[in-house]
Amino acid sequence: MLEIRPNCEHCNKELPNTSTEAMICSFECTYCKNCALEVFENVCPTCSGNFVERPIRPLKMIEKYPSSTKRVFDQKNLKTAKVNSEKYKNITPTKR
């Protein structure tokens, strides 16, 4: 089950369950669309995997299975992230 983290790990933007801007990698590193696609160029700065849009948990399920309230906020070093993105962005995710 996804944690559905409440914020962008890099810029701390609010990303509630109903947000259409939340992107996740396979480890559920969570970023806003701008950070995931523009800043990190669809390369997760932590695991180098790709991002996909986080699904929205239906309202009727969210009471029984609430989204996480634990904020993960750890601003990335943009120089290091850039090097990593350059290395992986042109490699299709199935081959990374």
Residues of the shown chain interacting with Zn ion in the complex, contacts defined by CB under 5 A: 8, 10-11, 13, 25, 27, 29, 32, 35, 44, 46-47
State the nearest-atom distance from the C-beta of 30 to Zn ion, in Å. Answer: 9
Q: Among 45, 13, 12, which residue's Cα sits nearest to residue 29?
A: 45
The beta strand positions in the chain, using DSSP E, are 22-24, 30-32, 52-53
Q: How far apart are CA 77 and CA 72, in angstroms?
A: 16
Least Å distance between CB 11 and Zn ion? 3
37 or 61, CB closer to Zn ion?
37
Task: Give whichever of 9 and 59 is closer to Zn ion, judged by the CB atom.
Answer: 9
